[in-house]
Amino acid sequence: MKVLEVIKKNKKQYLITLLTCLIVVFSISKGSTIEKRPLAKREPSRRQLEVNNESKQEANLQESQTTSKSSDEDKEDTLAYKDGSYTGQAQGYKGEVKVQVSVKNGKIDKINIVEHSDDEDYFNKAKSLTDEVIKAQDTNVDAVSGATFSSNGILDAIQNALESGV
């Protein structure tokens, strides 16, 4: 008896709830008519292609256990950079990131961030990558979590600067 009293008091709300339930049951029984489209495929970035290429090269090196002294010397020659000061830029989160890279004795000596448009909090986290690049002598270092776009902007700008000096 109490249920009927509640229904009489809240007739409008009861009818709305009942209709909603019927619509849900009907939709489930008939199946969804929403067109499902495949997700758009994104082209891999230049950086991802470089990482994949390097991974393949490492796998090939592991497969071939024999190395000659001359090939090791050739590899060392390709790792050395030409001495000088180079400028590079790339897209950060909010705009261009511009860096200046100094190479001394064939090695990355100093990296200065000339300008950027990113938020200071995020960009300051990503700035530490310059030390990592100098330490590794390579731009193939992990991006800073929480500042991925700024990190990639810095790394790509450094890579572009180094490529301009080749």
Distance, CA of 98 to CA of 160 (rounded, Å): 10
Q: What is the pLDDT of residue 55?
A: 65
Q: Are residues 144 and 120 in contact, defined by beta-carbon separation less than 8 angstroms?
A: no
Distance, CA of 133 to CA of 162 (rounded, Å): 12
* Cβ within 8 Å of residue 165, ≥6 positions away: 81, 82, 84, 86, 101, 103
Identify the CATH number of the domain defined by range 80-164.
3.90.1010.20
Per-residue pLDDT of the chain (166 residues; tens, 9 = 90+): 576 676 677 777 878 887 887 787 777 766 655 454 554 455 555 666 666 666 666 666 666 544 444 444 444 444 578 899 999 999 999 999 999 999 999 999 999 999 999 999 999 999 999 999 999 999 999 999 999 999 999 999 999 999 887 6
Q: What is the pLDDT of residue 104?
A: 93
Q: What is the pLDDT of residue 158?
A: 93
Residue ranges per domain, the chain? 1-31, 80-164
- Nearest-Å Rg of the Cα atoms of the chain is 29
